[in-house]
Amino acid sequence: MSYIDYYKILDISKGATKADIKKAYRKQARKYHPDLNPNDKEAEKKFKEINEANEVLSNPENRKKYDDHGEHWQHADEFEKAKQKNQYQRSSQGPQGGYSEDDFSDFFGSMFGGGSPRGGGRDVKFRGQDFNAQLQLNLKDVYTEHKQTLTVNKKNIRITIPAGVVNGQIIKIKGYGGKGINGGPNGDLLIEFSIVNQSQFKRDGQNLYALVNLELYKALLGGEIMVNTFDGKVKLKIKPETENGTKVKLKGKGFPKYKKEGQFGDLFITYNITTPKNLTAKEKELFTELSKLR
């Protein structure tokens, strides 16, 4: 993975404070947000880089590693451990020991893929960098399990998206991240789901919530109505004298539970009683008689 200057991405100096980073991130994120740049692949790429830069620089520990080790900051801990081990071995073997400054330079070069010009350093394997991606889906897309092809670093990856994933959830595709160093394992691809809800239902975990209008006559006298669920219509019985705001639960008519085949949440419906408009003279007369009876 090519080197990315996170400070340049956010347009800040290396001496930027935490507040400076936050302000710069918000400014850049607003500018390149996908909602403001629909179908703009370049803006989408820039938005991902901005988020990556913020994740690293807003974390003091990761920022220090990045400042010290640049593009290899994720291997900082491993490098420091290897460095300390190397120094210990050199000191324990004394001035006549088997390691020198040149050997350490060889080790450093092999760690970061440069290799040893003389072959004297020992190869050290390091895991590749994890890649992060965001996948936007409609709520209806995650109601059932389905397959989707993603393109990452010019490679097509066919993945199965389980039913019931939630907004912000991250799944890991093992081995599809950055290439390992010196034969080390590849990193992983971490996919974060952004779920867009354009339905009449509000989702909370595996449960769904909906507001259903109910005519005044039906609420008073009772009867039957057809209501929408996420996978079709169902018939509901209305009790006479149903009050406004009454809630009913349709068991198992909610959203599928993640990786629990055949299990669903519930659908909760709230009745909103509507009053008739544009009454005729006869209707007004009848309502007047009813009011006198009460």
Kindly report, residue by residue over 239-250, the tens digit of the pLDDT. 999 999 999 999
**Averaged confidence pLDDT in the chain:** 83
Whether 234 maps to a domain, the answer reads yes
- Is the distance from CB of 146 to CB of 197 less than 8 angstroms? no
Instruction: Write out the two tokens for 194.
Output: 């952004």
Whether 123 maps to a domain, the answer reads no
One domain, residues 252 and 226? yes
The boundaries of the domain holding residue 186 are 131-196
78 vs 14, higher pLDDT: 14
One domain, residues 220 and 170? no
pLDDT at position 115 is 42
Among the candidates 148, 176, 196, a domain finishes at 196
Average pLDDT over residues 274-279: 90
Cβ count near 275 (within 10 Å): 7
User: Given a cut of 70, is residue 84 above it in pLDDT?
Assistant: no
pLDDT at position 91 is 54
- What are the distances in angstroms from CA 179 to CA 67, 74, 136, 150, 263? 22, 13, 26, 18, 39
Q: Which of 230, 213, 226, 217 is nearest to 267 (CA)?
A: 230
Query: What is the percent of the chain with per-residue pLDDT over 70, rounded to a whole number?
Result: 82
pLDDT at position 22 is 92
Q: Could you tell me where the DSSP H helices lie in 97-215?
A: 101-111
109-123, pLDDT tens digit by residue? 444 444 433 344 445
pLDDT at position 110 is 42
Number of structural domains in the chain: 3
Query: What is the percent of the chain with per-residue pLDDT over 90, rounded to a whole number?
Result: 45
135-191, pLDDT tens digit by residue? 899 999 999 999 988 887 778 888 899 999 999 999 999 998 888 888 889 999 999
21-45, pLDDT tens digit by residue? 999 998 988 888 887 888 888 888 8
One domain, residues 216 and 287? yes
Instruction: Write out the two tokens for 188.
Output: 């992983």
84 vs 146, higher pLDDT: 146
One domain, residues 13 and 67? yes
One domain, residues 102 and 22? yes
Q: Could you tell me where the DSSP H helices lie in 15-130?
A: 18-32, 41-57, 60-69, 76-92, 101-111
